[in-house]
Structure 1
Amino acid sequence: MEMIKEAWLRFFQSDEQTDWWKRKIRSCRNRDANIVRINGHGHVYEMIRYGRKETYHYLLHLALLIRQNSQFIREEQVIPFKMQLENDRITEHRKMETDLSSAKTGYARMEADISGSRSEQRFAYDRRAAVQYAHRWWNSYNPAYRTFDVDCTNYVSQCMRAGGAPMRGAPNREQGWWYQDDNWSYSWAVAHSLRWYLSGSTEGLKGKEMESASDLIPGDIICYDFSGDGRWDHNTIVVDKDTNDMPLVNAHTDNSRNRYWSYEDSLAWTSDTQYKFFRIGE
């Protein structure tokens, strides 16, 4: 659609988008990498007409070819936009923000629950299967599960489940880690709850806290507190390592593939951002 191309070009020159682009370039430079090529295309998934006004919701799919030493990395990101037209003129165009504050659901209850179990249970974590699932569904949604507005933790949980992580605790949403019959635990779908569950669980799925991102391997999990306020906002799964042995991650909200782990290119990132690095299955 020609209007989407015009709107995107206009937005690309805006202060907000300039900030995003600067963050992306700075993130690459910090890892001794550079952007070789960037391509993008838009896909309209909803159109609302009211009188002379038309509102389009569309997804911008960006594909970046990044070179780091002798390695080429194809990074992809899908960003939701809203564009409004009146009399065929663009009157509004902006990135659609996700309200990460909804991730606060179950905040205190999961913190109280995670220390409940003391029995030991080991499981064989199939990292390859978890990563394969992460690539299969990075930009789509498995119909076997509910899709959430803030879908990052639901997606990461599905990846771990595909790797053989055992579920427990159903049907109590405040206990364990599980998804069953279109119902789920807080730890399955809420970023803050999963972060505390991984560090506190001693049975089935549990996480071993690692000191740095470089300690992680594909299939492991990174948790993000962008504001540094103690509320954990986002989760990703490690799918690969770059030539500096640093993680590349997949995520939902915004959908991303082979993205550099630090998220310094994200408009949500701040200098107060805190991370937790979890080894899964050991």
Structure 2
Amino acid sequence: MRAELQQLLESRVKQCVSQQRSKGDCDKIERKKASLAKRDAEIVKAKAKGQITDITEINDFKNVSYAVHFRYLIRQNDLLYIEEEVESHQATFSREHLIDEFEVVPSINSAKFDDRSLLYSDDFSMNELGQRAYTYDRLKAVQYAERWWNSYNPAYMKIENNDCTNFISQCLQQGGAPMRGYPNRGAGWWLRSQSHSWSWAVAHALKLYFESSKSGLRAKRVSSPEQLLLGDVICYDFEGDGRFNHNTIVTGKDANGMPLVNAHTYNSRQRYWAYEDSSAYTPNIKYLFFSIVDS
């Protein structure tokens, strides 16, 4: 069982650097290579480390859940950088022979809430925390994103399987962004113990907050990704239906000055901002780019 999984990972690592296509190649890896090629970039070395997280047995079948940590050394012109991502997979064995294997795609369905309940104007959600001036420390926000991209800070709550916006909010707070709006979940941007505003942990709510906030944590929308600075935020609407369901934080730039991002849910670091290699990507994807401003 373990030998077959190891062989599978080795074949995918080989595919990352191969110029040839073979039967059974992973489509996701081919999308990554195509995305890199459009940027005059390529994977020059790859590593994959798997860890079994659960095994269940039903009669002659074994279902094996495991995580795979991929590391890619990417060359783009004179720049070399390392991209990392973690995927969840499931394999099914019958009498110790592999019969099925697939990536378990994380849920991107945000918590349900009524947009009309969000009161982000200053008249409703201003408090003493939102009034103080602050300078956003982009370096601290990025350092936090680098430290915790693939783990969970026990000082904060963890949202199982859909932690992306909670993670971004932590990064923003670590950069000095002030909270405001407590205890109204539909007001401001805040965390208090295990309670939080919708905007702290729900992707679409954070996008709405950025568009309307005039005090405390504020952001301005820019028209293109190259205008973003380290510590800025990208919002993703994978289906293009107007409901945003993922957020990332800018932690680097590639050789063309385009953002590289870190995220949770799809745990990744220094990933190219467009997410064209993501299992959630669709041709209808829409992006919004927000640059954090000092008050």
The reply to whether TM is greater than 0.5 is yes
Query: Percent identity at matched positions?
Result: 42
Answer yes or no: is 1:229 the counterpart of 2:241: yes
The match for 1:245 among 257, 274, 289 is 257
How far apart, CA to CA, are the structure 2 residues paired with 1:280 and 1:25? 32
Contact 1:7 1:90 in 2 (8 A): no
DSSP-derived class of the 1:81 partner: strand
Aligned residue type for 1:236: T
Distance apart, 1:281 and its partner CA: 2.7
**1:240 Cα offset (Å):** 1.0
Residues 1:156 and 2:164 are matched in the alignment: no
Unaligned 5+ runs, structure 2: 16-21
- What residue number does 1:26 align with? 34
Q: What RMSD in Å do the two structures reach over aligned CA positions?
A: 2.1
Is the aligned partner of 1:61 residue 2:69? yes
Aligned to 1:79, the other structure's residue is in SS state: strand
Q: Tell me what 2:113 maps to.
A: 106
Superimposed CA distance per residue, residues 111-144 of structure 1 (whole angstroms, 9 cap, x where no aligned partner): x422354866542111111000000001111112
Question: 1:167 Cα deviation (Å)?
Answer: 1.1
Helix, strand or coil at the partner of 2:260:
strand
Query: Do the aligned partners of residues 117 and 269 (structure 1) sit closer, same or farther apart at CA in structure 2, a change above 3 Å counting?
Result: farther
**Equivalent residues of 2:105, 2:279 under 8 A apart:** no
Q: In 2, Cα distance between the equivalents of 1:117 and 1:80?
A: 44
Runs (5+) with no aligned partner, structure 1? none
For 2:81 and 2:11, locate their aligned partners in 1 and report how far apart those are by CA, in whole Å: 28
**Aligned mates of 1:83, 1:263 — CA distance in 2:** 25
User: Aligned in 2, Cα 1:14/1:99: closer, same or farther, shift over 3 Å?
Assistant: farther
Provide the rounded CA distance (Å) in 2 between the counterparts of 1:154 and 1:253: 10
> Does the 8 A contact of 1:117 with 1:201 survive in 2?
no
- Secondary structure in 2 aligned to 1:196? helix
Preserved CA contact (<8 Å) 2:41 2:75: yes
The structural deviation recorded for 1:97 is 1.5
Which deviates the most, 3-12 or 134-143?
Answer: 3-12
How far is the alpha carbon of 1:32 from its aligned partner? 1.7
Provide the rounded CA distance (Å) in 2 between the counterparts of 1:42 and 1:14: 23
1:27-176 superposed matches below 5 A: 27-101=35-109, 103-109=110-116, 112-117=118-123, 122-148=133-159, 149-176=161-188
Secondary structure of the 2:71 match is: strand
Matched residue type, 1:205 = L
Aligned residues: 279
Q: Secondary structure at the match of 2:215?
A: coil
Cα distance in 2 for residues equivalent to 1:264 and 1:117: 40
Cα deviation per residue 1:196-237 (whole Å; 9 max; x = unaligned)? Answer: 111111111111101110000100000011111100011000
Specify the alignment match of 2:223 in structure 1.
211
Deviating more after overlay: 47-56 vs 131-140: 47-56
**What is the Cα deviation at residue 166 of structure 1?**
0.8
CA–CA distance in structure 1, aligned partners of residues 157 and 92 of structure 2:
29
Mapped to 2, the partners of 1:246 and 1:7 lie a distance apart of: 33
Match for residue 5 of structure 1? 6
- 3-state SS of paired residue (2:4): helix
TM-score by length of 1: 0.91
The residue type paired with residue 46 of structure 1 is D
